[in-house]
Amino acid sequence: MDTQDDSGVFLIIATVKPFRAQAVLTALESIDILGGTVREAMGYGRQKNRLHRYLGSEYNASFLPKVEITLVVEEREVATAVKILVGQARTGRMGDGKILILRCLSNYLTW
């Protein structure tokens, strides 16, 4: 099997806060996206095991609601997509999200 990849196609997986998701998706309309998905997710990170109060009761906020955005883009769009994701998703507070970038192997792509 040839593992050499010349496709120039990347998978970008980003988790963002739910209230920022629509702004991110709207901004991403300005680039050429080959495909993608959006799903609800639960995030776990530095905020782990913090107790919060709501109506006088304490609850554990180990898992917080997030939106996962998965994009398939050509290599020329990766930097722009990441710039949009960071620019639209960042609030400056803990838990803004994560971005993973993975190269897709051309011999496994089917359109």
Residue 9 has pLDDT above 80, yes or no: yes
Q: Is residue 59 part of a domain?
A: yes
Structural domain contains residue 4: no
Query: Does residue 5 fall inside a structural domain?
Result: no
Q: Which of 36-45, 58-67, 75-84 has the lowest mean pLDDT?
A: 58-67
Please report whether residue 38 resides in a domain: yes
- Give the DSSP H or E segment for 83: helix 75-89
Cβ atoms 84, 31 nearer than 8 A: yes
Residue 108 covered by a domain: no
Domain count across the chain: 1
Looking at the domain assignment, is residue 15 inside a domain?
yes
Among 47-61, 73-87, 95-109, the range scoring the smallest mean pLDDT is 47-61
At 45-77, the pLDDT tens digits run 666 555 566 666 655 667 788 999 999 999 999
Phi-psi region at 110: left, alpha or beta (left = phi > 0; alpha = psi -120 to 50): beta
Q: What CATH number did the domain enclosing 23 receive?
A: 3.30.70.120
Predicted confidence at residue 27, as pLDDT, reads: 97
Q: Which domain holds residue 75?
A: 10-102
Q: Report the mean per-residue pLDDT for the chain.
A: 84
- Residue 58, in any domain of the structure: yes
